[in-house]
């Protein structure tokens, strides 16, 4: 199940960034499950990682390697998360980095490992290492779609976004892919994402751009409220376009990058496990971002709200109850207005006089639904995106390891 279009977008190549996909047989024979990405020399890279305290071995190693050197290769495997695997997991991640280094002549700390899949199982290191030479033979700057397919787990379709625009007569490209469907709750980002641009950006500005774009995209999505052990988003700037991003054009670059990140983040929600609805939650009129997000997440992560959405049941009382338990001091419920799409359903602490059940049922039949909570206590607005909670979500996760 998924919502929206299944069409994979046209992906503009990024000079200086090549991708390859191979079938290693990590969990299933003849499945694309290993992706290798090559980064040209002179590039800069920035990353954000999961805040889960039980972060996976590849997250630990990738963080360390990023502090030591600019990366030359990214190695991503599916089918096994290499999380909850202790010291052996660290050793296994390092072995995979060494396999890439040995085949390419770079230092092991110039390789960043990433894994996704089942938690708590030993990484099949030999299987992965044996497939590295095969992946190296497939490197191409047009390998985005295959790579997007190669990093999937419970996803039903690949996810990508790409844009080109002009800066002073030169074309700048930003292209990215991501994976994510379940165990989605922002606490940095909740997925794996790889974005490349051919612009030239120094390390400080690149990190600033990723943090800001991430804050308005991957940190605004939730499927089930669970933050993964393995999540990471990497942004690479190859500099091959000859266009330098500085203070004079940073905001333009940031706007394009943020748009790409929002597209990717929303594609995760549209492909959320068992999703039949794409839900936008707006919390408006808050005193600050924290209380706006508290209200929005209370609604977006309420199992009662989400199951009502699955049933297309306009049970607005569940939304009201979720808002009421949000962590907002001195919340005056008499000032709150709640709307479904453009229809006002609640005001003054009760059902709106103009609202009818027929209106609510008609709205709830839609695949895309906007829930707006107007707090009327300040000027801050926040938006996030979520899914409904269906029988299919339960089935997928009940049968995940079988």
Residue 235 has pLDDT above 70, yes or no: yes
Can you tell me the distance from the alpha carbon of 298 to that of 227, in angstroms, rounded to the nearest whole number? Answer: 16
CATH of 17-270, one of 3.30.450.20, 3.40.50.1970, 3.40.50.2300, 3.60.70.12: 3.60.70.12
Per the annotation, the verdict on 175 as an active-site residue is no
With CA atoms as reference, report the closest residue to 223 among 256, 157, 179, 255.
179
User: pLDDT value at position 163?
Assistant: 98
Distance CA 170, CA 256 (A): 15
Using CA atoms, how far apart are residues 1 and 349, in angstroms rounded to an integer? 36
91 SS3 class: helix
| Neighbour-count burial for 327-339, b at 16+ CB within 10 Å, e otherwise | ebeebeeeebbbb
Please choose, from the candidates 328, 329, 354, 330, the residue with its C-alpha nearest in 3D space to the C-alpha of residue 338: 354
Q: Is the pLDDT of residue 185 over 90?
A: no
Where do the domains of the chain lie?
Answer: 17-270, 278-398
| pLDDT band at residue 279 using 50, 70 and 90 as cut-offs | very high
The two three-digit tokens of residue 15, written as one number:
């000079």
How many of the other CB atoms lie within 10 Å of CB of 344?
17
For the chain, how far is it from start to end, CA to CA, in angstroms?
19
pLDDT bracket for residue 230 (50, 70, 90): very high
Residue 124, pLDDT above cutoff 90: yes
Report the pLDDT value the prediction gives residue 187, as an integer from 0 to 100.
80
3-state SS class at 28 = coil
Other C-beta atoms closer than 10 Å to the C-beta of 303 total 12
Residue 1 has pLDDT above 90, yes or no: no
What does the alpha-carbon distance between residue 375 and residue 185 come to, in Å, rounded to a whole number? Answer: 24
Output the six-digit token pair for 269.
Answer: 């929600």
Q: Identify the three-state secondary structure at position 392.
A: helix
How high is the pLDDT of residue 401?
Answer: 79
CB neighbour list of residue 397: distance below 8 Å, 6 or more residues apart? 182, 273
Tell me: pLDDT of 69 over 80: yes
Query: Which pLDDT score is estimated for 190?
Result: 65
Cβ 195 vs Cβ 236: under 8 Å: yes
Of the residues 50, 78, 190, 386, only one is catalytic, namely 190
Distance CA 250, CA 227 (A): 31
The mean predicted confidence, pLDDT, of the chain is: 95
User: Candidates 1.25.40.10, 3.10.20.340, 3.30.70.2740, 3.40.50.300; correct CATH number of 278-398?
Assistant: 3.10.20.340
Helix spans in 5-151 (H): 57-68, 86-104, 125-136, 144-150
Q: Confidence band (pLDDT; 50, 70, 90) for 6?
A: confident
Residue 191, token pair as written in the block: 């997925």
Per-residue pLDDT, 174: 98
| Average pLDDT over every residue of 371-375 | 98
Task: Name the pTM for this structure.
Answer: 0.95
């Amino acid at each position: 199940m998924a919502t929206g279009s299944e069409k994979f977008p046209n992906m503009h190549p990024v000079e200086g960034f090549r991708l390859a996909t191979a079938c290693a047989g990590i969990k299933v024979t003849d499945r694309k499950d290993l992706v290798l990405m090559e980064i040209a020399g002179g590039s800069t890279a920035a990353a954000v990682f999961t805040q889960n305290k039980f972060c996976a071995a590849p997250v630990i190693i990738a963080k360390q390697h990023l502090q030591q050197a600019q990366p030359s290769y990214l190695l991503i495997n599916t089918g096994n998360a290499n999380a909850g695997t202790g010291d052996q997991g660290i050793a296994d991640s390092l072995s995979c980095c060494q396999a890439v280094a040995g085949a390419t002549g770079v230092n092991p700390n110039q390789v960043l490992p990433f894994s996704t899949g089942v938690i708590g199982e030993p990484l099949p290191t030999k299987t992965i290492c044996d497939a590295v030479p095969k992946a190296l033979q497939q490197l191409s700057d047009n390998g985005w779609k295959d790579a997007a397919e190669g990093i999937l787990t419970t996803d039903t379709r690949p996810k990508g976004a790409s844009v080109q625009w002009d800066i002073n007569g030169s074309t700048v490209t930003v292209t990215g892919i991501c994976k994510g469907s379940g165990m989605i709750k922002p606490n940095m980002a909740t997925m794996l994402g790889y974005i490349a641009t051919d612009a030239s950006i120094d390390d400080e500005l690149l990190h600033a751009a990723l943090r800001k774009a991430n804050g308005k995209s991957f940190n605004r999505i939730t499927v089930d409220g669970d933050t993964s052990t393995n999540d990471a988003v990497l942004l690479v700037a190859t500099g091959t376009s000859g266009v330098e991003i500085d203070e004079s054009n940073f905001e333009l670059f940031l706007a394009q990058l943020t748009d790409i990140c929002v597209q990717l983040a929303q594609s995760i929600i549209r492909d959320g496990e068992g999703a039949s609805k794409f839900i936008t939650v707006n919390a408006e009129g808050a005193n600050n971002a924290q209380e706006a997000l508290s209200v929005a997440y209370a609604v977006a992560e309420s199992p009662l709200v989400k199951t009502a959405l699955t049933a297309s049941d306009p049970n607005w009382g569940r939304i009201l109850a979720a808002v009421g338990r949000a962590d907002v001091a001195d919340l005056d419920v008499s000032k709150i207005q709640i709307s479904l799409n453009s229809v006002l359903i609640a005001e003054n602490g009760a059902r709106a006089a103009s609202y009818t059940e027929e209106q609510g049922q008609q709205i709830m039949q839609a695949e895309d639904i906007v829930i707006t909570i107007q707090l009327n206590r300040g000027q801050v607005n926040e938006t996030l995106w979520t899914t409904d909670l269906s029988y299919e979500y339960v089935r997928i996760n009940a049968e995940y390891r079988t």
